[in-house]
Structures are given as structure tokens and as C-alpha cells.
Amino acid sequence: MTKMHFDLPVPPPLPPGTLRVFALGGLGQIGRNMTVFDYEGALLIVDCGVLFPEDFQPGVDLILPDFGPIEDRLDDVVGIVLTHGHEDHIGAVPYLLRLRSDIALIGSTLTLAFIESKLREHRIKAKTILVTEGEKLRLAPFDLEFLAVNHSIPDALAVAIGTPAGVVLHTGDIKLDQLPLDGRITDLNGFARLGDAGVDLFLVDSTNADVPGFVPSEREIMPVLDSVFLKASGRVIVASFASHVHRIQQIIDTAALHGRKIAFVGRSMVRNMGLARDLGYLNIPAGILVTLDELNELPDDETVLICTGSQGEPMAVLSRIANRDHAIQVGPGDTIVLASSLIPGNENAVYRVINGLTRLGADVIHKGNARVHVSGHASAGELLYLYNVVKPRNVLPVHGEWRHLRANADLAISAGIDQSRVLLADNGVVIDLADGVATIVGAVPVGYVYVDGAGVGDITEVSLTDRRVLGDEGFISVFAALDINAGRVVAGPQIEARGFHEDPTALDPLVEQVRTTLEEALAKGVTDVRDLQQRTRRVVGKWVSATHRRRPMIVPVIVEV
């Protein structure tokens, strides 16, 4: 097994006839998926998604792939293949198109509908190429073939990428549901056909690689939903991903079965379900869909609200309901269903929402106490099946945290693939494919690009550290005006604190210490303002640490008069 190393050199120039592959996101994490294929001066990108922030990234809205390694080669990009319409695969497209707006987007009907709707919000008109499963497309020098795969969103595709250097097969997000709601199963015949012809590098979804067995069918949720609706005495509120069309379809079907009307709540839910219905992916029986105002006029036991917020997002509908910050108020008799899994990193946020709803008296149903969710990603048994069907020469696990990537690599080895041909890589690690052999040859620097409001890339790790300190320890400012020539403090020190201590007199003992420190420094001939600020910061920090066991942010302001 070839492992990623932290001391990899800068990759050498790309040799002729060699295909270079590197990820700018999606390895070692679940999110911001983006893989670049470089051949004979042309770049092909597969997916361009976002990662959602965790608690230790305060104020951050989204995290993008790092476009830096290709920013000076955007004119070489022949297209972006979008495997499906989830945010972690399409959410960063608007930010890349800001750098070059005419890059062709290649995807299926629903995927392109979702991304075009998103681009309209950014006032970007995209160039799109519609493809379907079984279709082939040449974007010189790349020959592409698209295969149907089953996932938790309709119209998902895998893509085979052919060059003279070899054939790469990228699964996208995949599972092997044999009874999908739409009847569209993963094209195992196509995978086998490509495998028989020879797949030189297999990029495989790793999200559930550490889960044994097979993922249950989406259809198994329907009886559970039916039981939940049967027991519910009042309103039913279901939170789900705004792109999970199949899950929403089952909720609608169950509501119809129990004589309930439905209303969509949340901007992304309303938008996506409208698109899915208009394109024929969502069937809503006549008369069942009403507005929220109309729903509020009905008896509680005849209503279902379908909303966003299943991951505890602070501004999503369900979080606001739990915080009593929404027009929808819940209480005893209401049943809340979180019809989704927990994305790693969101656990605390989701449990806060569950606790908030429970405190209000609602009955909360979630994956931990009922099967109201099945995964959209293949478990170990399905991945082994894929390895045996494809028989790849080289394997690169993708889409997962490190525990998932390693588990997937172990599965590939157990399926008989030589461990020297199984690559474990991190974002930025460069892999060259030539003569049927994939080799790690170096790494390009990649980092996190944070979106904060309208700013992209303005927030740094130092800024986040400052925010965490402010949030955890508070803030102390110290102001003093000095007469340098006289060597004395003429105003202040004035010490103010925020988020540090409720007692306004808690820092009074510091005033004389700061004055003494400054006047002693002036007496020694210290006149540099920066030096005086550092001395102030040290004396304040030492006292606060010894007295209160705290380490707040300390900002001294020293002025000369």
C-alpha cells in the first residue's frame, strides 16, 4: 500500500504520454470534492464542491477547494464533469466560474438544473453539456463515457476517462440499491465491460468502507415512515436534505396515504423540489401540496411540513424552530423526523437541535431510534463486489475521511489487488499514470479557502484562531497615552473587557501594574511603541493567567502625546 507522505517534493514536469491526477479537495474529508486530470496540456475537472464548517471555524459560511494549483492554467480546462447534484460536488462551481465563466459544465438533467439554479443566484450564465448514462463524449484529449450509478439523488453518474496513458474510472458517489424507487440501478454491466477492457486507475467512493455488509434499500424506509405517521397525533415535520428527491417522494407518498397535506419550507427545499417536480423526478399528487399559510388553517393531524435543517445548520428552518426563532412553533403532540444521517462534524449541532425540540415537548424521531435513513454510499460488501467486477490495475480511494480511505484500501487489497497498486493520498498529492502503473510523484500545496459573507479567501487560519480565542476566552483592551519626553503616563491605563468577567472591577488591580510597567520601561529609555505594547501585553497576560486561569485576546493601544 503506497501511503501519502508529508515530505513529498514538488512534482517533476509531466512526462509526455503520462496522465497526472491530483485532488484539490475530498481526500481525508467528506466534502469539497474536486479532482483534476492533466494530460498533454489539457485539464479535466471532476466535481467542484464545498465543505461545510465545523464548530472550530466560527463565522465561516463555506469552505472551497483550493484553486491555487490550477489558477494560472484555467485556460487549459476543457470542462468540469459533475457526477451529481449534491452541494459537496457542485457547490463551489460558482466560485470557480468567477475566475473563468465559460468553462463547460457536463452533467445529467437534474444535476445541471440544480447548478444552473445556483448560478442564477450568482448572476452567472453557464455553458452546459447535457449527458445521459451510456453516452460518450470527447473533450480532446479526453474520451468520456458516463454510467448510471445509484445514490441518494436521481441522475447520478460515474465517469470513465480515456487517454492514451490509460483508462480511469471514477465512481462518483455510489451504492448498489437493487430496488431503487426510480428503478435506475447502478450499471454493473458497464462496470464489468470496462473492467474486461482494462481499467488502469479506479477512484472509489470510500464513505461507508468501514461499514460491513450492504446498504439497505431506500424502499425499507417507507414502512417506518408509515408507522411514524400512524402514531402521530398532531403535525409531522420532516427535515431532510433539500436534494434527496427519493426521500421526499416517500414522505409525500406517506402523507397522501394518511390523508395529510404537505408544504415545503426553506428556500433550497422549495427551489429544488420545484425543479424536481417540473423535470418529472418528483410526483406530487394533485391537491396535496399547499402553501404554509394554507397548511396552518388545517387541523394539525392533517398536515406535514417538509423542511431543511437535518444537519443542524444554524440558519436552517429546523434549527430556528428549535430555537423558537421561526414562525412555526412546536410543542406536545408534534412529531419531528430527521430523515438523514449525521455528516461527520455535525454531531453536536444536530444533537443541540434534537434537545431543543425535545425540550419544547415534541417527539423527535431520528436515525438513532428508528430507521428513517439509509445511506447513499456503498458499504464494504458492495465495494468488494465492485472491485471483483472491475478488476482494476490501480486503486485510489476517494471521498472520505482517513478512516474511510484506509478501510477502502484494505478492501481493495483483500479483493486481490496488489497492495503496491493501492494508493492512499491526501489533497494535493500528485499521481502519475503511465504504462498501467500509478505512482505518487510529489505534491502541490493546497489549503482551505474560506467563504465569509461576500469575502472569499480573506479569512486565514490566524483569523480563525483569533475568533476561537475571542469566543472561548474573551477580549481585553488596554489604552494608555504617554509623554515620551517626560517619561510618564499622562492618560490611562484604561482597561476594558468583553466576554471575560461579569464583575466590572475584576481588572482594577491591573491598572497600577500596567502603569508601573510602562513608566519603568520609559525610565530605561524604551520609546518604541511596539515594544511598549508587547510589555503591556505580557504583564496583563501573566496576571490574568495566574489570577483567573484564562488566556483572553489582549490588545494594547499605546499612543504618544
Write out 302-357 in H/E/C secondary structure: HEEEEECCCCCCCCCHHHHHHCCCCCCCCCCCCEEEECCCCCCCCHHHHHHHHHHH
In the block, cell 461499514 appears at: 211
User: Which residue bears the cell 455535525?
Assistant: 346
Question: Residue 165: is its pLDDT beyond 60?
Answer: yes
Query: What are the backbone angles phi and psi of residue 41, rounded to the nearest 5°?
Result: 85, 0
Residue 551's pLDDT is what?
74
Cα–Cα distance, 500 to 504 (Å, whole number): 10
Q: Give the DSSP letter string of 51-105.
A: B---TTSTT--EEE---GGGGGGGGGEEEEE-----HHHHTTHHHHHTT-TTPEE
pLDDT single digits (tens) 275-333: 999 999 999 999 999 998 898 899 999 999 998 877 767 667 888 888 888 888 888 99
CA pair distance 260, 254, nearest whole angstrom:
9
Q: Say how many C-beta atoms besides its own lie within 10 A of residue 56's C-beta.
A: 13
Q: Which of 442, 432, 444, 440 is nearest to 168 (CA)?
A: 432
Neighbours of 306 (CB within 10 A): 27
pLDDT at 323: 83
For 156-171, what is the mean pLDDT? 97
Residue indicated by cell numbers 462534524: 345
Residue 455 confidence (pLDDT) = 55
Would you give the end-to-end CA distance of the chain in angstroms? 67
Mean pLDDT, the chain, as a whole number?
87
Q: How confident is the model at residue 1 (pLDDT cuts 50, 70, 90)?
A: very low
Q: What is the CATH number of domain 461-560?
A: 3.10.20.580
The grid cell for 552 is 483572553
Closest CA to 248 of 215, 214, 282: 282
pLDDT tens digits along 239-286: 888 888 999 999 999 999 999 999 998 888 999 999 999 999 999 999
Q: C-alpha cell of 159?
A: 465517469
Superfamily the domain 19-213+375-453 falls into: Ribonuclease Z/Hydroxyacylglutathione hydrolase-like (3.60.15.10)
**pLDDT at residue 23, as a whole number:** 96
Domain boundaries, the chain: 19-213+375-453, 218-365, 461-560
| 39-90 per-position pLDDT tens digit | 999 999 999 998 766 555 555 667 889 999 999 999 999 999 999 999 999 9
Q: Which residues contact 36 (CB under 8 A, 6 or more apart)?
A: 21, 22, 23, 24, 43, 44, 45, 69, 70
Coil vs helix vs strand at 364: strand
Quick one: pLDDT at residue 198? Answer: 97
Q: Taking a C-beta distance cutoff of 8 angstroms, is the pair 63, 345 a contact? A: no
Which residues contact residue 115 at a Cβ distance below 8 angstroms, ignoring those fewer than 6 apart? 82, 85, 90, 93, 105, 107, 126, 128
Residue 28 burial by Cβ neighbours in a 10 Å radius (0-12, 13-18, 19+): middle
Residue 179 pLDDT greater than 50, yes or no: yes
Q: What backbone phi and psi angles, to 5 degrees, belong to 357?
A: -70, -40
C-alpha gyration radius of the chain: 28
Rounded Cα gap, residues 358 and 327, in angstroms: 18
Q: If pLDDT is split at 50, 70 and 90, which confidence band does 471 have?
A: low
Instruction: Give the pLDDT confidence score for residue 459 in this predicted structure.
Output: 57
pLDDT, mean of residues 404-412: 97
Give the separation between CA 213 and CA 210, rounded to whole angstroms: 10
| Residue with more model confidence, 217 or 104 | 104
**Which tens digit of pLDDT belongs to each residue from 422-440?**
999 999 999 999 999 999 9
Return the percentage of the chain with pLDDT > 70, whole number. 91
Cell 430523515, located at residue? 339
Residue 533's nearest CA partner among 557, 509, 554 is 557
Cα(412)–Cα(399) distance, integer angstroms: 15
User: Which pLDDT score, from 0 to 100, does residue 308 have?
Assistant: 83
Fold: same for 218-365 and 461-560: no
Q: Residue 111: what pLDDT?
A: 96
Share of the chain above pLDDT 90, in %: 54
Band of residue 2 on the pLDDT scale cut at 50, 70, 90: very low
In DSSP terms, 560 is beta-bridged to 482
Contact between residue 155 and residue 85 where contact means Cβ atoms under 8 Å apart: yes
Reported as type and span, the H/E element at residue 531 is helix 529-548
pLDDT confidence bin for 135, thresholds 50/70/90: very high
Least confidently predicted of 165-169, 404-408, 460-464, 526-530: 460-464
Superfamily name with CATH number, domain 218-365:
Metallo-hydrolase/oxidoreductase (3.40.50.10710)
pLDDT category, 537, cuts 50, 70, 90? Answer: confident
Indicate whether 466 pLDDT > 60.
no
- Helix (H, G, I), strand (E, B), or coil: what is residue 455? strand
Neighbouring CB atoms inside 10 A of 231's CB total 11
Pairing, β 19-25 against β 34-39: antiparallel
Of 499, 491, 475, 470, the residue nearest 555 (C-alpha): 475
CB proximity list for 505: less than 8 A, separation 6 or greater:
none
